[in-house]
Structure 1
């Protein structure tokens, strides 16, 4: 019997290792690990810090959607080749593209000259390779063509999809977009595979566009499926469309001003990306409303931005340059963190230069005032908040005036100053072990950005040492370091293969733990099939740290709305596996999902346990959760922890009457599924009789159970 086969509830599992002698001790240990509030706080803090770091370093505003509260959505992780409005709306990296986003795209889309040819080709040919340079507007163009052709909507395929496998399940009349697959897959995607793929799509009246870079190496016989996009859409037309989203027709006269005409001529000549054009349109809206002077906009786009940036950095003094690099890593963080990190880097630079020059200059405590330092670094301070062990405090935080500076600065340092590579790398490696979780995570994400320039060096010299150290903050840094590379089409397959190797039993345990915990982050969210397969492999182990890492990643994946059902299905298979370790870890995951995740509901007194909330949202969720908890309360060693968790639910119901109905419906079906009928009512009566117990909730829940049994 394979791991994927299920047994009925209550059936005896296949023999495993010898049973644990002290069942009571094991039961207590289960409850302690699954309901460890400090572990939950740290894991949530790590996930939030990771997303804050990605947003600050990429110049985007991100949400930590690994935990979803209430109706939160999974937003675009990293902005790519998208049309984006001023409100930040974008298209998901994988999964269904929401209809309202396609409707918005229709409103702002300007077709390039060969768009109708693209649509005609797509009508006659089920598979198309759309070849265009990055920034051309290729993603928006492909989505618009697919939505026009396919009545049932559009899906973006995960970067982990292997097109040659031909085992993808396509929905009828649906458009599919595969955005910039990795080079190895493109080179081996032959005419034969494309024809077979096309036949399957034709059978269900669906279409697929594969977006490829203009320099991508394709299979020699793939030419019949390739369409070169030609010229991009007209710049003025794009700007006009976007301006009309915010201005009346009478206000479009801004495009006729001499300064704007000259600016558009320059922009057309140098052709910025579609994203930059949207930014320009936003500025022109401000010009029309007299919020921004046109001279500022002209200055920004006519001058050579790259040269200005290079000149700025090259002219920084020895105090400001390390501060600026530190701010690139710790943008939007408290000033004391940035300053301390900057001083550490400055000391390393001084030491390195002293070896060359033979003299070590002294440090001055009162050398440069913060106001001067911020001015030179083109940064600003603002009031923010910092959560401490004893509550929230107000702090002075700092950030670059231009949100693009963090990524620009690190990239420029790497491209132009090779002598600084080791210094910066060693500095970040040390920061990865900092006591402050935010510092270690930021250092990790910065190494991840640098790994997109030099992946092998970053892996060998920083990421693997962090992963192998066995220190929790080092491991969080290593996880952070995998985020940027997993979002790069050319590096994502390498990261996937690396994690596959890291989780093998022959690897050091610390490395296995790090890899397993990383599978719940952006890395695993972009390749859920592979991530869940590797997590089940780690779940076989009896090592408590590895099991904790599995639970951590399962919780992260479950927090993504599109993946929660998939996670529940896998846990149903895990909890009937022939492997005792997989069953045991699966039960731990169920407890942790219940204890860790909550849902905010309208009018509720307090957050609800997310599992109970989900069970009330759909029959499919309800069925999975009932089965999993019924198995949990029948599994050896787990009933005490399971009933302790149900008791916690009942206390929520005591404080929140709205919660009693959803909880009662779940308990009714749980009592039906449990072969030891009568146990749930027994516990409810026992809890109701305790001093200060949840008497009102227990009595209402017992009434519901009695009514169901009587019916």
Structure 2
């Protein structure tokens, strides 16, 4: 996870009347024309907008209904996450629980989908044509573990310097070597030696004759490299294809490396000028020693393990034979690295004798007990999360799967069930066993960013493979779904998204089972978090072409059901685009649904639009403004239109990197209005309509105060904000009067957190025009 600038503290509104500060709570707020009576927030409910404005650590405004409210704890039931209530004359909505939640949630979605190999976010796909004309799946980056081994555990073979010099200036290379002799590792090491920035693995079925054209047609990151192992049509390769690729790769500052066996047929003799014959692999014992030292990060311990008589005998048995591949030496190093001081040689020998197993299978099947397997599954779902959160999730899964520990006799002769020993395995051994690593990073909290120790698998393929192995290999499907059902109620947005995306991956394996087990129940829930989880599930499932029709029919049924909960879920699902590249159908569905006056449905629409806009704001914002304009003109949809605009205005933030590398968070709608002239007028008119006496004018004042808090600490945002409010005042004098009154409160002497800079800037352009108000 990468940190960005913390959310600035929204000003406390101590001097303001209660209505603006409390307007965001459905239990507390009254229509704008009536006085507000702040009541208690729903028990366990998330902080409302008063607290949301204080993401930088400021106390909530006095009089706010949610002052002191805390987010729902993980696994909480009841009202946790239920932030909407049925619409009515006395009810007003609650805004997002923190500014920028929609933008942050979109990043969480991207991260979670990449873990499970189902990234459906546009803009990240690189595809090439395969032989036969079909497109490949989106390219995947080289597994970091392969790069790490090539960088840190590489054993230099003889003639390596000559091989590297021959490779240096080439853009397309055919590497030919003995099968099992480390061709792939040598190819990666050569690419690292020429400072390749990113390495993609190509599908063996790729049509190389069309690759040059596609390289020319799109822009790649400079230093991109493509690795193609054992291409299917190696016998049909010719020099003219390589020549075209060489030119295209040079223009793109990219490289292509093909690896083939020494027995592979090369029918075009002209192709030999692109070939490099790889040297023989180094001794397998040296590969074993180097890999083990790297895995243990302890040369003395590695050499001590290898010196044990039983281990030395195993090494002689497995490596001192002809035709032993480099992979066998690497797998043996992996198995030894997981052993304690006393090596279980019999178990290692049994694993090595399994012919149908790969490194992953050996690793997962070798996890010795339920605790380790639960931790492995929890890490698969929450890869990259703080260590403490993963450990807590693993404990809860263990509680579901455990039938109780062994009986032990205490000192007083009483019997008890032994629980897990938290000190049984030190952290460094846990990381080695799980093939994981920890890094120091930051996490976003309701009060800004905080440091955290994050844990993740070294191999990015492991999250998907662990979940698939647990689901398909064992009879624990219901327990896994129940456990994930708790995680989608977690207090952390990022963990909820991770859990929902994991259920989505399971839906790609068993859609009907997951639908019957959880989807309808969650979709009909009065809990917002569960309905959002359904959208996360369907986002992944709809990315599978074979499931897209089923997902569409399911959502259409909820859309027509007449139930506010189901229609809200349908709106959230349409915010994912349901796997479609064209957003028109989803946008129209959300617009038609805007006539429903129930707040749950209205907030589903708001969140649906926020999700769409977070994905491609510049592309979809004109569509959104068009919907807002049409709905404002329709009395049946006016209230929903105002909510849509205010929700999106508060929910979307964009990070802008300055010349010094520092990041500043802008309200996205304001940023895009400064960059694109055609987006300025719709923004001005939307603000004017919502501030000038609408039912939600007090909510509009609160969102305006959030924007002002960002303008207070940044001159560029303040300049854009001042231009905006002046244009709003020119468009509607009543709206201008509202802004003037708010600006006075921002710098009131009783304000707990005054905003003098933005107040002075706004007063300078508005007070002369509205001095009588």
TM-score (norm. length: structure 1): 0.59
Give me the CA root mean square deviation.
Answer: 5.4
Corresponding residue of 1:408: 465
**How far apart are the structure 2 equivalents of 1:621 and 1:459?**
41
SS at match of 1:491: helix
Match of 2:359 among 287, 292, 308: 308
Corresponding residue of 1:614: 672
Corresponding residue of 2:435: 378
Corresponding residue of 1:326: 378
CA contact (8 A) 1:502 1:515 kept: yes
Corresponding residue of 1:627: 685
Corresponding residue of 2:97: 38
Please state how far the C-alpha of 1:512 moved relative to its aligned partner: 2.6
Corresponding residue of 1:558: 613
Corresponding residue of 1:637: 695
Mapped pair 1:696 → 2:748: no
CA contact (8 A) 1:147 1:154 kept: yes
CA contact (8 A) 1:432 1:466 kept: no
Match of 1:596 among 643, 646, 651: 651
**How far apart are the structure 1 equivalents of 2:114 and 2:396?**
24
Please state how far the C-alpha of 1:703 moved relative to its aligned partner: 9.3
**How far apart are the structure 1 equivalents of 2:329 and 2:247?**
18
Please state how far the C-alpha of 1:611 moved relative to its aligned partner: 2.4
SS at match of 2:560: coil
Please state how far the C-alpha of 1:471 moved relative to its aligned partner: 2.5
Please state how far the C-alpha of 1:617 moved relative to its aligned partner: 2.0
Match of 1:539 among 579, 594, 603: 594
Match of 2:568 among 496, 508, 513: 513
Mapped pair 1:57 → 2:116: yes
**How far apart are the structure 2 equivalents of 1:643 and 1:448?**
38
Corresponding residue of 2:392: 340
Question: Cα distance 1:365–1:25, how it changes in 2: closer, same or farther (>3 A)?
Answer: farther
**How far apart are the structure 2 equivalents of 1:448 and 1:606?**
34
**How far apart are the structure 1 equivalents of 2:574 and 2:580?**
8
Larger radius of gyration: 2
| Long gaps (5+) in structure 1 | 1-19, 66-72, 89-106, 111-133, 156-228, 269-280, 355-359, 707-711
CA contact (8 A) 1:485 1:492 kept: yes
Please state how far the C-alpha of 1:485 moved relative to its aligned partner: 0.9
Tell me whether 690-699 or 480-489 shows the greater mean CA deviation.
690-699
CA contact (8 A) 1:519 1:535 kept: yes
Corresponding residue of 2:628: 571
Deviations, residues 257-315 of structure 1 (Å, cap 9, x unaligned): xxx764x76899xxxxxxxxxxxx9xx9xx9xxxx989989639999896332233233
Deviations, residues 583-614 of structure 1 (Å, cap 9, x unaligned): 21111111223233334454799644332332
Question: Cα distance 1:681–1:436, how it changes in 2: closer, same or farther (>3 A)?
Answer: closer
Deviations, residues 642-667 of structure 1 (Å, cap 9, x unaligned): 45655665676565444465445545
Corresponding residue of 1:299: 327
CA contact (8 A) 2:99 2:652 kept: no
Deviations, residues 542-571 of structure 1 (Å, cap 9, x unaligned): 222222222122122223232122211222
Corresponding residue of 1:24: 33
More helix by share: 1
CA contact (8 A) 1:615 1:666 kept: no
Please state how far the C-alpha of 1:369 moved relative to its aligned partner: 0.5
CA contact (8 A) 2:560 2:567 kept: yes
Please state how far the C-alpha of 1:235 moved relative to its aligned partner: 11
Question: Cα distance 1:306–1:76, how it changes in 2: closer, same or farther (>3 A)?
Answer: farther
Deviations, residues 597-648 of structure 1 (Å, cap 9, x unaligned): 3344547996443323322222321232233334334564244544565566
SS at match of 1:333: coil
**How far apart are the structure 2 equivalents of 1:438 and 1:495?**
24
Superposition pairs of residues 63-462 of structure 1, within 5 angstroms: 74-76=123-125, 81-82=137-138, 135=203, 234=237, 262=261, 299=327, 307-319=358-370, 320-351=372-403, 362-365=418-421, 368-370=424-426, 371-388=428-445, 393-415=450-472, 417=473, 419-462=475-518
Corresponding residue of 1:491: 547
Question: Cα distance 1:647–1:448, how it changes in 2: closer, same or farther (>3 A)?
Answer: closer
Question: Cα distance 1:305–1:407, how it changes in 2: closer, same or farther (>3 A)?
Answer: farther
Between the two proteins, the alignment pairs up a number of residues equal to 523
CA contact (8 A) 1:329 1:406 kept: yes
CA contact (8 A) 2:115 2:464 kept: no
CA contact (8 A) 2:606 2:647 kept: yes
TM-score (norm. length: structure 2): 0.55
Question: Cα distance 1:439–1:630, how it changes in 2: closer, same or farther (>3 A)?
Answer: closer
Tell me whether 591-600 or 488-497 shows the greater mean CA deviation.
591-600
**How far apart are the structure 2 equivalents of 1:109 and 1:567?**
46
**How far apart are the structure 1 equivalents of 2:391 and 2:678?**
52
Corresponding residue of 1:131: none
Question: Cα distance 1:336–1:611, how it changes in 2: closer, same or farther (>3 A)?
Answer: closer
SS at match of 2:456: strand
CA contact (8 A) 2:504 2:540 kept: yes
CA contact (8 A) 1:557 1:564 kept: no
Please state how far the C-alpha of 1:25 moved relative to its aligned partner: 3.7
**How far apart are the structure 1 equivalents of 2:743 and 2:536?**
44
Question: Cα distance 1:576–1:446, how it changes in 2: closer, same or farther (>3 A)?
Answer: same
Please state how far the C-alpha of 1:448 moved relative to its aligned partner: 0.8
